[in-house]
Amino acid sequence: MVKLDRSLIQRAVEEHAEAQRRILNNPVALIHEAGSLVVLEGVETEHQALTALDADIDFVHRDSSSPDRYRRPGWQPT
């Protein structure tokens, strides 16, 4: 499992951040090719979660006090 820094998602959701989204997608693809899962830390908004989902991130990490701090993007509690 490989954990990516929150700065990648923060830059990827900025206005006009198409290049930053590609920068997020490329290492994710390489990590998956190597057979590992990807955790992205610092996902705090729905927009960030959707961007992570588009990048094929396996799990997102919210703040450490959240009970669902490791979860798949798009996951909704029932």
Q: Kindly report, residue by residue over 45-64, the tens digit of the pLDDT.
A: 888 888 898 899 999 887 65
Q: For the chain, what is the HEC assignment?
A: CEEECHHHHHHHCCCCCHHHHHHHHHHHHHHHHCCCCEEEECCCCHHHHHHHHHCCCCEEECCCCCCCCEECCCCCCC
Strongest mean pLDDT among 21-25, 43-47, 64-68 = 43-47
Q: Is the pLDDT score of 66 beyond 90?
A: no
The average pLDDT across 11-22 equals: 76
CA dist., res. 71 & res. 9, Å (int): 16
Predicted local distance difference test score (pLDDT) of residue 38: 94
Report CA torsion sign: 14, 58, 7, 67: positive
Q: Is the pLDDT score of 28 beyond 90?
A: yes
Question: Chain-wide mean pLDDT for the chain?
Answer: 81
Residue extents of the structural domains in the chain: 2-71
